[in-house]
Each structure stands twice: as C-alpha cells, then as structure tokens.
Structure 1
C-alpha cells in the first residue's frame, strides 16, 4: 500500500513564494538539459510543511522520461541522512556525540584513533580522509568493521578540516550495527525514513524491486557511470553516497529538519538536537578538499558569512544548511524562512560547471522568498 505523501500541495503564492522566480529557476534547469549538461533532473521546493513546486525534466534513462516516481542517486546527500541516524542514537541515549567512537565500537582505537569523537567524525576532522571500504565488504558487516577499525591516520584528529568522501560514514554504519544490532540500512529506514512517511520515495539501500525506478547516473560524455549503475551498488546503501530518492522526498526530509525534527505531525528528533547538529563547528577554517570554509555542522554544512559559498546559494541566510551530491545535486533548508529545496540530476559533472550551476539555481530559489 502506497502511503500519502506527508507534504500536501500548495501554490507558491499561498506559501509566500514568487512563482515567476521559481519558473525562472526551472527554465535554467531546462536550459542545462537542452545544452546537454545532463539528460534529466528533478526539483522540489517546500515551505511551512507544504509543497510549492515539484517538477521532473528530461530523461531518467535512455528513452525513458523522468517521472515523479523516478529515484535519483543522492551521492553525498546521503551523508546527512546517515548523520541523522547518529543524532537519533544520541537522542535515544545510546551514544553521546561527544563520546569517543571507540567507546561504542571496540577495536576502532587501533592506529591512534582512540580519542576521535563523533563530532570530529561528522565534521570531517577525523584524520583519515582518503580511507575507503572496498566493494567486496559492502554486504559483510564483519569485514566492514575490520576495515574501518583498521583505518590509518593521515593527520592528527582535529588538526585539519578535510572532507572525508567515503570513510567517515562507513564508520557511522559500523557504529549503528554495534550499538543496535541492526544493519544501518534497516535502522535508518526504521528510525528516520519510515516515521516521516517517506518510505516509498527515500532509500538507503535500494530494494531489488525498486531498481526499475532508478535513474542512470552518467559521466559528462553521456556514458553510464559504473559501478553506480550496478545492482550491487544500488543495494549496498553506501552510507556516505549511495542513497536514492525523489526531490520531493529530500525537500520533505529537510522540511523535518527545518521544523525542529517533525513532519506532518510525526517527530523523529527534538528541536534541541537539530539545533545542536546544525551549529557551525569549524568556524571559518578552510576545508582543504573544497578549498573554502564550509562551516561544518554534524552532517550538513552551513552558509555562514564568508564571501564564498558552496551549493546553498550565495544570498542564502547564514543559518541555511544542507549538502550536495558530487557534480549532480544539492539539498538544503533555511530554518529562518522555513523553505527547503532539493535539486537532483543524473550526470556527475565537473565542479567548474556544477558549482556555478548550483549557486545560480539555489540563489533563484532564495529570491522567490517574498515574506
């Protein structure tokens, strides 16, 4: 049985949004598709618990048009969903985010990692940015634990802010299993996704029967990326980059965060926990991977007040928070206005295009806020 989507529809005007600005944003997305930058895309904008815009563009797969039910690879947008699972463990008293990870994952202390906290992990200060979990371990929880416990430090924990593309959230997955006894995919679905009413449109670990809904991910030359297009990759629920969802599901997830952990009357987290998670823990320190200050929270990053920004829109309120998916997507919430936004596409573009594209598209969404 398909459950009703938790965000009811409303007109932009009813939500204090300028439809002409949203239309301009959509025309930019259409222009990029016409220019061959990506075959398809989807965008959603929500405010105050209602959906103002949800549109699909172009093709999800060769010869198959994108539809409202198309599922898009979220890449690193997945990181915030996985981080929310750690927030939930803290909310439920199973961990403290100030704890050393090794207190909850014995063996992690190997190679000098004994004092790394969850805060350092989630703000990309853990000190092992290049570490990886091989595909051969994705479905083997014992092997995952062995691999993450064996990560070697590249720098002293806390000494540098450098984005961890994959490693940090595999540690989170291992902690979830160690603390709850559940696979991270099952826990995230039970504790975060299902209570929000998003079980039909948001997945960390895509069930086999849902693979037909998945958009292919492409390289800029139009070829389908591998291993992203394989059943194994889709099923693995890679915790830092393997989720799938619709744009309206991601806009709804961020609505829940913008509204203090509640969506359509269903609460997953407390307002205090959300406030704690979306503080700026790294100040204006430069993230060495991105080469700008990212203002890291415990999962998402914030706009902050520096001149340069990434993905959230240059004119965003400083408290706006969110995350991107490499070369293809960005999702965010502005807790001051109550607006949430999700843009998903199916080409992993280089950042020379993706960065300016997302700054423009996100800024156009912010300019639609009229009250």
Structure 2
C-alpha cells in the first residue's frame, strides 16, 4: 500500500528547520536520559511529509524503525470517533440522536437521553465504567456490558474525561448501525481508503505483531519495566477503541493532514469540510474538565487549544484552532488547520503525567515555532 504523503523537506514547505532540529535533539536527549527506550516523530504540511524520524529501541535490544507501530493509547479515540463522523455524513445517525435510538437497551439505568454529542465530548456521566477483557472477543457481551453502565452524575452537567467507557459505547454504536465489527469498519472505511492501512491499525493481526513496539513503565532499579497488560496478543488484537490502536508517527501525521485539509487526503475525500469544522469545534467552552483539572475545549473526538493560558499537549504557542489528542504518558497528535500543519509523536514508555505534559508542551511548541507564513 503506497503511503499517501509525498516526502519533502522543511524548507520546501515553509517550515523553519532550526526548531525541528531542536525538537529532534530534545527527543534524543530524553532517550539518553532514560525517559523512554524509543520514539518516532513526524511533521507534515500541505499534503507532504516534512519530517519523519525514529529513535532508540522499539523493544529493548531491537532498534525502532520507520515501520515500528507504537501503542497510540487515547490517540485511538479520534480514529474511532471518525467512524461516527462518517456515519453522520452518510445520514445514518445524527449527533443529537440519543444513543438508545440505535442501541435501545442502552436506555437502562437512566441513560435513555444521553446523546452521541454528549458521549463524544465526555459529558455522558459514566467516566469510571469498566469493560472487562472478556468483552474484547465477545461483542454481544460488550453490548450487554455497556448497556448496563450506571450513571455517576447527570449527563451534560459536567465535563469529565471518560478514559475508556465512552469509546466502548462508540464501538457498540458503530456495530449496531453497520452490522460490522467496529475494527473492520474503521480499517475498511477510514484507514484503507486513505492509504493508511499499514500505518494505523485498530485490531492487530498476527502477521503485524513483529512490528509492534513494546510499552514500558518508567525505570525501576535502572531498568524499564514492560507493562504486562498491554504487551499481549489479545490486547493487540482487541483494538480497544479508546486506547488500543497502534500507529506510526507518519501515519497519524497523515491522518491529521486529512483533518487539516478539510476531510481529504491525496485526492481521497472522506468528509466534507463542514463536517470537519463541526467535529473540531469547541463544545465545552472554558468549562473545567474534572479529570484534567483544566479546560479541554472538547470537540467530537479531538480537543482544541482555545485561548486559555494553559493547554494540554498541543503546545502553549499553538493557534487557538489547533486540535488533537494525546496518549497517556507517551504521545500526542495534532493539526493546525490555519497553516495546514500536522504533527505526531510516539514513545514507548508510559511516563508520569508531569513529565509527559511538560515534554509535550516543549515538543509541540517547537513544531509550532517552525511554521512560517506561506
């Protein structure tokens, strides 16, 4: 499968190479200091790849390569949400629909009025709900499980990040509307048409397992500790919709190029410009996200920079319309639609949020500093 972005270089795309060189130097320094074994970074603009580099080790003793697939954690959420955007484009759902319109049993326990918009903007009211591993391979049980979720607060009354539960509901929605496994739908209708089937994977097949980077906890007694729960073939295959996809940095930089370009990539249009404008809009204003402790300016999948003093992951100096998402302790991907620039960074250690937030503010701000006027 041909990768959809033509390789270029920063100067040809009106990107200052000096901040990008500093960005790469910071990544190299963090690896040397033992913050993570390996990483990838990519920057793209106007449909072309300006920078794509890999660093360190994908697994201890195994060098990272351009083909290494990194655990995306919650960057997966935007890819999953895009399947619902596509169904809305096709008239098969409305964002104002109650979830129970499509999954009637979801109405149990007072959830009958929760809308798809509330679900995707983390206002659903069940942030702590758990989906057990038994549901990964039994999607009838998955549907029963999410339908039995109970509310922790009145839907719409708060903004609180749902780390996993909301996007398991999204997966059930996709399957209820399409009659197709959510992983297959995302691969066939989103990723393959964009030419990204080899670079973004939701539900990894056995043949792809050798490409998967391991994910680690920070060093203990001088050694990185593999995370047992994530480094299994069952986790790889599950394609957990809120946090279990895998990708390369260039793949997600390309995905965000599609979003920065108003829904089209390399001649393939998935979404209308109006749809992209809508789903990247700030629906939660400057309300505090109770999980994050700051306003997150939630869209229907990504969050945006906004104009508050503090931002998570997207870079302090980012344009207010910049939007994207992060992966816990390890990664961030974003697009600046005002300049046509996209960015993706992946590492393979689930670092502390203090380190991760500071690291990503530096890396993202360096990428923004490289953007010159066209």
Q: Tell me which residue corresponds to 1:347.
A: 349
Choose from 321, 331, 334 the match for 1:332.
334
Residue correspondence of structure 1 range 43-62 to structure 2 within 5 A: 43-62=41-60
Residue correspondence of structure 1 range 153-192 to structure 2 within 5 A: 153-192=151-190
Q: TM-score of the superposition, structure 2-length normalised? A: 0.98
Structure 2, gaps ≥5 residues long:
none
Cα deviation digits, residues 324-358 of structure 1 (max 9, x gap): 00000000000001000000000000111000000
Q: Tell me which residue corresponds to 1:298.
A: 300
SS class of match (1:161): coil
| Number of positions where the alignment pairs a residue of Structure 1 with one of Structure 2 | 369
Cα distance in 2, alignment partners of residues 369 and 200 from structure 1: 28
Deviation at 1:97, TM superposition (A): 0.7
SS class of match (1:331): strand
Choose from 132, 143, 147 the match for 1:145.
143
Q: Tell me which residue corresponds to 2:31.
A: 33
Aligned structure 1 segments of 4 or more residues deviating by more than 2 angstroms: none
Q: TM-score of the superposition, structure 1-length normalised? A: 0.99
Cα deviation digits, residues 254-300 of structure 1 (max 9, x gap): 00001011000001111111111000000000000000000000000
Cα distance in 1, alignment partners of residues 39 and 345 from structure 2: 7
Choose from 223, 234, 237 the match for 2:236.
234
Alignment of 1:65 onto 2:67:
no
Alignment of 1:108 onto 2:138:
no
Cα deviation digits, residues 167-199 of structure 1 (max 9, x gap): 000001001111100000000011110010001
Q: Tell me which residue corresponds to 1:79.
A: 77
Cα distance in 2, alignment partners of residues 200 and 256 from structure 1: 16
Cα distance in 1, alignment partners of residues 205 and 275 from structure 2: 30
Deviation at 1:156, TM superposition (A): 0.1
Cα distance in 2, alignment partners of residues 17 and 88 from structure 1: 32
Cα deviation digits, residues 83-102 of structure 1 (max 9, x gap): 00000010011100111000
Cα distance in 2, alignment partners of residues 186 and 271 from structure 1: 25
SS class of match (1:46): strand
Cα distance in 2, alignment partners of residues 123 and 4 from structure 1: 34
Q: Tell me which residue corresponds to 2:125.
A: 127
Residue correspondence of structure 1 range 215-294 to structure 2 within 5 A: 215-221=213-219, 222-294=224-296
Alignment of 1:365 onto 2:367:
yes
Structure 1, gaps ≥5 residues long:
none
Cα distance in 2, alignment partners of residues 37 and 266 from structure 1: 39
Q: Tell me which residue corresponds to 1:313.
A: 315
Cα distance in 2, alignment partners of residues 339 and 137 from structure 1: 38
Cα deviation digits, residues 32-54 of structure 1 (max 9, x gap): 00000000000000000000000
